[in-house]
Structure 1
Amino acid sequence: MPNWAIDYVTVATTRGYMSVDPADGERLFRLRVHIPGFAWEIGATDDLGLLVDVIAAWRDGVALDVLAAEFEFLELEEFAGALDRGEPTSSQWADLLSSDDDSGDLLRRLHADEGLRTMFPTITHRAVRLRVDPMDWRSHHVLVYEVDTERYMTEGPGAPRAEVPAGDLIRHLRAALDEGQ
């Protein structure tokens, strides 16, 4: 099999998608959790039986503290807890706002708006993506690119690319996101 081939298994759950990615050249199964626009590894094991058990338990909604106690290979970080509590959006905002990313000024501007703060943010290709529902990849979203400190470019499904002055950005984004709901 070519080295570039991707062989992984994905399982849908109410907590997001899980994927199992077998390591090359060794018996090791890496377990990842995915929600649209965001993925993170939560552990790895060489025991296929344990892997199946943890996926079933995760899918069945077993509490994170129980999972962590029962499956020692899991590395359940704060974001997994936020996802489990049904608040991934606030956790994601906190994480992005505390990073040293170039998008910091734009993120702070977006987060300052009470309506936009409820959207799930991700950084992709030097743009901020705001998604209405973090658990649904088909959910309405909008991308915001900073052209300079006074202009932004926005685009989204069903919305043409638009250049927006900084003073109109929040109103424009709220309208674009409201149209898709």
Structure 2
Amino acid sequence: MDSAEGDFVWANGSTSALGDIAEVIDAWRSGVLLAPLRERFPFIEFSKMAEGYERGEPAETAWSILLADDNHISHREMLAALRSNSRLSGMFPFFSHDVLRLAIDPFKRDAGEICIEPQGDGRFSVQSSPGGEILADVELADLADMASSFVDSRGELRS
């Protein structure tokens, strides 16, 4: 079951029972939430991220997932520092090519994002996109303040 926005998958599963498929579709379209859907149809699977979207907390869920992920243990201190900043904590975090991206809207790429790239020496470069100013050679202690300088009080990127 895909989202109408972006390419987010809410849930998936398989069964050879055509009747179950029809019932899943009907239940989903009538607003049955993910957990009750899985209770009725055990072949349905969904992620913590799908539950976060369902609760209306995608950014908070994404932060929690990243901070708990052992694949990002080397970034944990950076992630914790950024999440503690009130302007950044509402942005949607994700990694792409070892660059942390803080998206204004996870479904609208043109809404803008802040890109944070570790430089390997404990320093970072920070850039707002598309084509925004680049702040290079930022230390971890200053990272959250520098990154949040790109965000206005409404949670939008400064022009």
Could you tell me whether the CA contact under 8 Å between 2:87 and 2:151 is conserved in 1? no
1:60 deviates by 4.9
SS of the aligned residue for 1:81 comes to helix
- Letter matched to residue 4 of structure 2: A
**For residues 132-173 of structure 1, what are the alpha-carbon distances to aligned partners after superposition, in whole Å with 9 as ceiling and x for unaligned?**
223434332111011145421123213144314225422331
Aligned residue for 1:114, secondary structure, equals coil
Alignment correspondent of 1:36? none
CA RMSD of superposed structures (Å): 3.0
Q: CA deviation at 1:70?
A: 3.1
Partner deviation per Cα, 1:113-143 (whole Å, 9 max, x = no partner): 1221111111221111111223434332111
What SS class does the counterpart of residue 84 from structure 1 fall into?
helix
Report the counterpart of residue 131 of structure 2 in structure 1: 158
Task: Choose from 4, 17, 20 the match for 1:12.
Answer: 4
What's the TM-score, normalizing by structure 2?
0.73
Distance (Å, rounded) in 2 between the aligned partners of 1:11 and 1:79: 13
Counting only pairs closer than 5 Å after superposition, residues 143-154 of structure 1 correspond to structure 2 as: 143-154=115-126
1:11–1:117: structure 2 CA closer, same or farther, 3 Å change rule? closer
Alignment correspondent of 1:176: 150
State the shift of 1:49 in Å: 6.3
The aligned length equals 151
Greater RCO (Cα-Cα under 8 Å, separation 6 or more)? 2
Q: TM-score by structure 1 length?
A: 0.66
In structure 1, runs of 5+ residues without a counterpart are 1-8, 19-31, 34-40
Which protein has the bigger strand share?
Answer: 1
The percentage of counterpart residues that share the same residue type is: 30
Structure 2 portions without partners, runs of 5+: none
